[in-house]
Amino acid sequence: MEEKQFAGILNGAVPGEPVKKDENSRRGNWGNQIEFVLTSVGYAVGLGNVWRFPYLCYRNGGGAFMLPYFIMLVFCGIPLFFLELSFGQFASLGCLGVWKISPMFKGVGYGMMVVSTYIGIYYNVVICIAFYYFFQSMTNLLPWTYCNNPWNTPDCSGVVGTGHQLNGSLANATTSLVAGVTEVVNRTKRTSPSEEYWKHYVLNISDDIGNFGEVRLPILGCLAISWFVVFLCLIRGVKSSGKVVYFTATFPYVVLTILFIRGITLDGAINGIKYYLTPQWQKVLDAKVWGDAASQIFYSLGCAWGGLITMASYNKFHNNCFRDSIIISITNCATSVYAGFVIFSILGFMAHHLNVPVSEVADHGPGLAFVAYPEALTLLPISPLWSLLFFFMLILLGLGTQFCLLETLVTAIVDEIGTDWIIRNKTVVTLSVAIAGFLLGVPLTTRAGIYWLLLMDNYAASFSLVIISCIMCICIMYIYGHRNYFKDVEMMLGFPPPLFFKVCWRFISPVIISFILIFTVIQYKPITYNDYVYPGWSLAIGFAMALSSVVCIPVYALYKISRSPGATFRERLKNACRSHPKWGPALQEHRTGRYAPMASEDTVEARPLKEKEELKEEQKEEEKEKERKDEISLTIQGSNGSTNTHSNPNPSA
């Protein structure tokens, strides 16, 4: 018995131990706890850690930005992360099934699915571009090194000269570098070869978002490869992806370390790192800095996407998700800070050679990943090697997030239908979702694709996530009841949530989420891409995408209220908010206390009484039987001719 309890508390085995049987045989579990932690780290640590955080840090006061960043991590990031993990693990259901807690709010789950769909479509396009750059790096000379290519314009000016071949000798390299720098200084407007390669060759970008042009076949091919890789890794659900993450979640750290060591040994690297970290304490008083910190924490951890709930649903019931949430959240933020050193050491080196401030070469988003950083890599000896490593790292970072996005959709569909057939054929569902994702991503591989990609990135997963997360907190803490949820967590973990998390869940985190929403609205500016201003109709589409996930919440709530029993609206509303009878732990063995089925409780209470009554009946029957036997015995003794049942003292008489 003790061994069974101990096995229930530990989430599986550690590497080297024999594989344990799934606790939930119908749905499946992670092979062990490490698989869950690595998958969650891969989900949380994505492209934004590399191409967004370092830029936000230097723009918002360098080292001073770390203060609001870590405050927001403690008071908003970790509590929300723990809330979602405990929510999914307790019910062992995906982002739709968990809303048995309060069926009226199931629209929140549909909103999460819509957001994950949008992100999954455009995120894989970014991964496929990284695949394309990775393949193009398999050469002796990176194609974005010089300005002598058919796609280059007269404004192009390289940082390593204009030669047709890469000189191997240090002297020639230095000469060409000086010539390149001189050429840059003499030009009033410099366009780098990496920027022209990105715009005119990779994207062959059109002049307007409505001018789609032809599909870029190399990008389309890489998109097919990207979706095929994601499908293969999820072909057996968490059983297969749990093994893949041993590599995809850890190897990016190896690459980051290699690039960091190479970066800090370069001239000018220290200037770049100083630019990244030098605190400007006066900016701490700026509300915008706090808004950026809260937004970055919120979006970086992947809250309200549905992925955290889904990944935790495959945990064993007694897994310590409190400890996991702290480990994963801190790892995510530490990775962001570490990636900043890697990025700015190389950018500092590039700024040093161009004799310009670091701010002129710093960038974020696709501009950093596919323009600024690749250009800096051309300055290094054996530049194709560093380029291969960098883009391979981007691919792995992207795949880690993409695995969870796809699994979120598949799990939600399978849990919602719930038949034995669809559970057995989950691979078919995964393949269908992957094919649909590929087809929906095809327009993003056209000449106008980058416009649509950035539109989806800015609108599809912006303020809608904040609204979804806020409503989730309100539902769990105030509709379902904070006391009920605290008891649920205690039943699952063996200890109640710490007081700090109770206060954050009820008060602090919802206030911070509301602050993020207000900040997002106040700071809103229409999207632009370089000098291109998006037309009004495209912005309307962007807002429609953002609202499409939020509108699921009131629409489903009204539907649920209309279908709920009750004579008045108030009764219907009350019944729609009440937890479903099946809410609670998925397995019968864990449904104890208030989740124990009523029938079995009555049986348990009635069993001793029934046994007593049966015992009394048996005793009465035995007494009657004994009396009958005694009567028969006495009758036999008096059968010598007398029927007198009394004993006769004189036998001869």
Dump the DSSP string for 217-233. Answer: HHHHHHHHHHHHHHHHH
Contact status, residue 54 vs residue 62, Cβ threshold 8 Å: no
- Using alpha carbons only, how large is the chain's radius of gyration in Å? 33
Contact status, residue 492 vs residue 593, Cβ threshold 8 Å: no
Q: Where do runs of H (alpha helix) occur along 137-212?
A: 170-186, 193-196
Q: What integer pLDDT is reported at residue 208 of this predicted model? A: 95
Q: What is the pLDDT of residues 616-650, one digit of tens each?
A: 555 555 555 555 545 444 333 443 333 343 333 33
How far is CA 103 from each of CA 565, 569, 573, rounded to the nearest angstrom? 13, 16, 11
The residue ranges of the chain whose pLDDT is under 50 are: 1-19, 162-188, 599-615, 629, 631-653
Q: Which two tokens stand for residue 612?
A: 């007593």
533, β-bridge pairs: 528
Q: Which two tokens stand for residue 11?
A: 């989430």
Question: From the centroid of its chain, how far is CA 161?
Answer: 44
∠ CA 476-481-485, nearest 5°, is 70
pTM, to two decimals: 0.84
Which DSSP letter does residue 65 get?
A: G
How far is CA 161 from each of CA 157, 166, 192, 196, rounded to the nearest angstrom? 8, 10, 11, 16
Q: Where do runs of H (alpha helix) occur along 187-286?
A: 193-196, 217-233, 238-248, 251-264, 269-277
Q: Which residue ranges are tagged as binding site for Na(+)?
A: 42, 44-45, 49, 300, 332, 397
Contact status, residue 227 vs residue 438, Cβ threshold 8 Å: yes
CB atoms under 10 Å from CB of 614, counted, come to: 10
Tell me how far apart the alpha carbons of residues 279 and 288 are, in angstroms, rounded to a whole number: 16
Q: Which residue ranges are tagged as binding site?
A: 42, 44-45, 49, 300, 332, 397
191, β-bridge pairs: 156
Q: What integer pLDDT is reported at residue 190 of this predicted model? A: 67
**Reduced to 3 states, what is the DSSP secondary structure of residue 215?**
strand
**Reduced to 3 states, what is the DSSP secondary structure of residue 12?**
strand
Q: What integer pLDDT is reported at residue 364 of this predicted model? A: 83
Domains and CATH numbers, the chain: 33-147+194-563 (1.20.1740)
Q: Which two tokens stand for residue 272?
A: 């770049």
Q: What integer pLDDT is reported at residue 624 of this predicted model? A: 58
Q: What integer pLDDT is reported at residue 174 of this predicted model? A: 34
Q: Which residue has the tokens 């410099």?
A: 190
